[in-house]
A and B are shown apart, each in its own frame.
Chain A
C-alpha cells in the first residue's frame, strides 16, 4: 500500500512541475508533431498564418481517409486473438473490439454493461450495477444446483493481461475491478476456448481490457459526473501526461453508487417478500431465525452497488526495443447480489477491499509480466465463515521469434493463489469455509506457431500444458487454426480448440459446516483434490467480408462440447440417537450430520450456434451495427433430481433405519433383554451414490436460444453526438434446487411421514422463467464549450422492469444527466 502511495504522489508532483514547461514547448512545436487535441486548439489566425503545405497537413490530421475510416470503425486492430496487432478482418479467431470512442459514446455505466455491444455475449443485470456475463451460454451447469452455478466461471477477464479471475469460487467479481470505463482504451472479446493462449479459465472465451495509453505532452485532466434517478451517482476523474518522450503517467479514480429498485427481500420458505424491518429476526417455519442481526448486516437495504477505485499507471520507454509498464490499483466495493448456495434468501451483501500491482516489460522480443493482488473479501456478508483474504501471484515470460513467414512464441508461466479465512474465523472450531490458508499453484509451458503460406493460407497451432498441485495432473489445451484469404476483402477461417477451467479453492479445499439447524443438524461441505477439470472442445467455422468501403460482415458457426462439470452433491446422512431419551419420554435423536463432496458429474453440455454481425459506416458521423446469436444448448446425462431430493432420500432411509433400530432397542429394553446403559448411543447412516442414479437428456433452457443487439452512433455536427443501442435476449429458465421448509422441516423427524417415491423424481426442482427482454439505451451529448460535454444518458429507456436473473432484483430504467470536463 505504501508503494501505491509513493507512486501517486510522484505522479501528481511531476504533473505540477511539468505544466508550465509544456506551455513553452507548445509554441515551438512543429505541426507534424502535434496531436489532434493540440491541432484542435489552433485558432483561425494560427491556421491562416500557416503555409499551405502545413495547412493541408492539419486538415489531413483532423480527418480520416476512406481507408482509415474503415479501419477505425470496422476493421479495428485486434491483439488478443494472436497476441500480435492485426486487422479484425484477418483475426484468426472470433473476436470483437470495442474502441474507447464506442465505449464513451455508448453511455454504458460499467464494464460488464458495455459488453452488451459485443456479439455472442449474454449480459444479465442481477441487481442495479451487478452483472453476470456469459460468452455463448453454458449457463447454470449443472442445473438444479446452487446459485453459484448460474454465474459464469468459464471466461477469463484480464486487465492489460493480468487475470482478474476469482480463484476461490470461480468467475469474475466485476465490482472488484479497480478500473472503470474511463480507464479503458479498448476491450477485445474472444469467443471460444482460448486456454492455449491465455491459460486456464479461458474456456468459453476471454475478455481482454486494455487501459489508456498516454502520448500527449500536455497535462490532461478529465472529470465526469453523472446524477440520475433512483439516487444514482457516478463519477470518475483522471490526470495524465507524457512528461518526456520516454516517461508518462496516468492517475485515475472512480465512484459508483446505485440503489435497488425495491427495498424488500424474498424468502424462499414463505414464497413472499418481507421488508427489511420484518427481516430482523424473521423466524422460518422450521423455527430457524434467518439472521438475528439482519439490519446490522444489511446496513442499507436500498443499496445495490457502492464502490470506488483508484489507479496509477506509469510507462517508461527506454528505447524502441525496451518498454516498461507499472500499474497499481485499489478498490472498495459493497454490493448486493446472489448467494453462492441455497440459502433462505436469494440476495446477499458482498464486500471487497483489494489492492493490486502489475509490472510488464518488453525487451528485444521478450515479454515479461508479473502481478500480485491481495485484500479481503466477505463473499456472503450475512453469514459467518465467508470472509477471506485472497493472494494471487502471476508471472509470465514469453519470447517472440520470427523466421521469415514463421512466427514462434514460446513461453512459461507460474501462478500461485492462496485464499485464507483464518483471520476472521477459528480454524480449530472449523467455523470458516476453508479454515486456514489454502493454496493452488500451477506451472505452465506453451508454444504458439503462426505460419503464412503462399500469402493467403495461414496456419496457426498453439499448445499449452499446465501442471497443477491439485489435481496433481497435467492439462493440455490447444488451438489449431486455419485461415484463408479468398481475396483482400474476404477471409474464411476454421478453428479446433480445447480449453480447460482451472481448479477452484472451494471445489478443492472446502471444509465447511453449514449449521442447517444450529447445534442439531450440520451439513458438511468437503472439497476434492482429485477432481477432473472441466474441459471444452470446439469446432468453429467463420467468414469475414468487407463489402465495399462501408460494410463489414462477420459470421461464425460453432459446435462445442463440455465435460467434467463439477458440482457439490450430498452423499450421506447420519442420525445420532441416544436410547436413554426414550426412557424419559424424549426424542431419541440427538443430532443429524450431513455430508457432501465436490464431484465431477456425468453431464455433457453441447452447444451449436451461429453468430452474425453486420457493421456499417456511412461516414465518420454515422455508423451502426446489428448482431445476434442463435444457438441450441443440449445436456446429456443430466440428473433429474436435486440436492434436496437427495436429502429427502437420505433422511428417509436413515430416519427409517433409526426408527427401526430405536424401536427394536426400546422393545428389548422393555423386555429386559438389553440394558439401556449397554450401548445407548447409536448412529444410523444412509448413503447415496449419484453415479448409480438415472440420468436424462434435456435442453439447457438456462441459455437463451437467441440474444443480440444493435447500435447506432450519429454525430449530426461537431457539437452533438447521439448514440442509441438495443440489447435483446429470448426467454430462459433458471432451473434451481428448490429450497423451502419441506426440506429442512423433515430432517430432524424420525417419526415423520416420508414419501419414498421422492428419489429421482426431481420434486424439489424450482423453475424460474425469465421473460424475453429488450433494453434500449440512449445517450445524447452536447459539446457546449471547448472540450466540455454535457449529456443525457438513459439506460433502459423504456423502463422495462423485468428481472434478468431468477429471484434477483427488478432492473428499471435509469435516467442520468452528466457533465464531462476536459482540461
Chain B
C-alpha cells in the first residue's frame, strides 16, 4: 500500500522531470505560485476559527446570564478579561455593544497576566495561554471570578468552565465546585447542559 503511494509520488516526479524542457517556464512560475499559496494559507489560517469563536463568545454571554455574582458585585461594569490576544475579543466586543448583564455594561479587556485581573467577573484563558491558569487561580483566590479555559483537562486544574471539542462541535466542561469556591452560584440548567467535572 505504502509502496503504491510512493510509486505514485516517484512516478509523478519522474514525469514532471521528463517534461521539464517544455514545462520549465511553467514550472518556475508554478513554484512561485506554490510559495504564494503557502503564504496565503498561513495568513488566512490565523482567522480560521472565527465561527468557533463566535459561539464561544455567545456561550460566555450565557454563562454570565446563568451564574449569580454576589449582589455587591452587581454595580458598575461587567468586565470580561481575556489573557493575551484571541479572536474571541472581537466577538465579545460585538456582544458588548448589543447586550448587558442585568444592568451592567459589558466591557472586554485584554490582559497580559493574572496581575491585571482587578475587577474582572470572567477571565478567559485561550488555548495558547493555558500556562497562565496557575497564576490566574492564585490571583483570583478570594475573588468572585469565573475562570473559563480552552484546553483538555483544565476543569480539573482550577477552571470553572472549560471548552472542549467533540469533532468540530463546541462543548463545555463545568466544575461546579471550582465555581462555587469563588462565591458564585450556578444555575442548575448550566450544569445540566455542560459536561460535569469533579476534581
Contacts and interface: CB of A to CB of B under 8 A. Distances in A.
Are chains A and B native binding partners rather than an unrelated pairing? yes
Given A45-B98, A52-B190, A63 B168 contact: yes
Contacts of A318: none
Interface string B122-165: 00000000000000000000000000000000000000000000
A660 interface: no
B143 to A, nearest CB: 25
B196 interface: no
> What band does the interface of chain B fall in when counting residues whose beta carbon is under 8 Å from A?
35 or more
Interface in B54-96: 55, 58-59, 61-62, 65-66, 94-95
Contacts of B23: 798-800
Contacts of A798: 16, 19, 23, 26-27, 30
Contacts of B1: 553, 555, 612, 614
A63 B19 contact: no
B99 A48 contact: yes
Contacts of B37: 722
Interface string B92-125: 0011001100000000000000000000000000
A332 B62 CA distance: 58
A797 B30 contact: yes
Given A55-B59, A62-B51, A717-B45, A619 B5 contact: no
B58 A48 contact: yes
A44 interface: yes
Given A708-B8, A798-B23, A799-B23, A52 B65 contact: yes
A726 B45 CA distance: 24
B95 A48 contact: yes
* Majority secondary structure of chain A interface residues (helix, strand, loop or mixed): mixed
Contacts of A628: 4-5, 7-8
* Majority secondary structure of chain B interface residues (helix, strand, loop or mixed): helix
Given A56-B193, A612-B1, A799 B45 contact: no
A621 interface: yes
A774 B15 contact: yes
A620 interface: yes
A720 B66 contact: no
B12 interface: yes
Contacts, number: 123
Nearest to A720: B44
A716 B11 contact: no
Contacts of A626: 5, 8
Contacts of B30: 797-798
Given A620-B168, A717-B44, A52 B66 contact: yes
Contact of B167 (A52, A65, A722): A65
A68 interface: yes
A706 interface: yes
A67 B55 CA distance: 21
Contacts of A68: 167
B62 A67 contact: no
A69 interface: yes
Contacts of A710: 8
A818 B94 CA distance: 34
Nearest to A72: B167
Nearest to B167: A66
A770 to B, nearest CB: 12
Contact of B170 (A53, A63, A709, A772): A63
B41 interface: yes
B47 A717 contact: yes
B46 to A, nearest CB: 9
B189 interface: yes
A584 interface: no
B50 A706 contact: no
A706 B11 contact: yes
Contact of A714 (B14, B41, B99, B168): B41
A755 interface: no
A730 interface: yes
Contacts of B44: 716-717, 720
Interface string A552-568: 01010000000000000
Given A44-B98, A630-B4, A69 B50 contact: no
A13 interface: no
A431 B37 CA distance: 60
Interface string A775-818: 00000000000000000000001111000000000000000000
Contact of B48 (A47, A69, A717, A722): A717
B41 A64 contact: no
Given A63-B168, A65-B169, A69-B168, A706 B193 contact: no
A317 interface: no
B8 A620 contact: no
B166 A65 contact: yes
A36 to B, nearest CB: 12
Nearest to A799: B26
A673 interface: no
B87 to A, nearest CB: 11
A451 interface: no
Contacts of A403: none
A630 B1 CA distance: 10
B182 to A, nearest CB: 21
Contacts of B169: 59-60, 63-65
Interface in B168-197: 168-170, 189-190, 193
B98 A717 contact: no
Given A52-B65, A798-B16, A69 B58 contact: no
A428 interface: no
A718 interface: yes
27 contacts: A44-B94, A44-B98, A47-B58, A56-B193, A59-B55, A59-B58, A63-B167, A65-B168, A65-B169, A69-B168, A610-B4, A612-B5, A628-B4, A628-B5, A706-B7, A706-B8, A714-B41, A720-B44, A730-B11, A772-B11, A772-B14, A798-B16, A798-B27, A798-B30, A799-B26, A800-B15, A800-B23
Interface of A: 44-45, 47-48, 52-53, 55-56, 59-60, 62-70, 553, 555, 610, 612, 614, 619-621, 626, 628, 630, 706, 708-710, 714, 716-718, 720, 722, 726, 728, 730, 772-774, 797-800
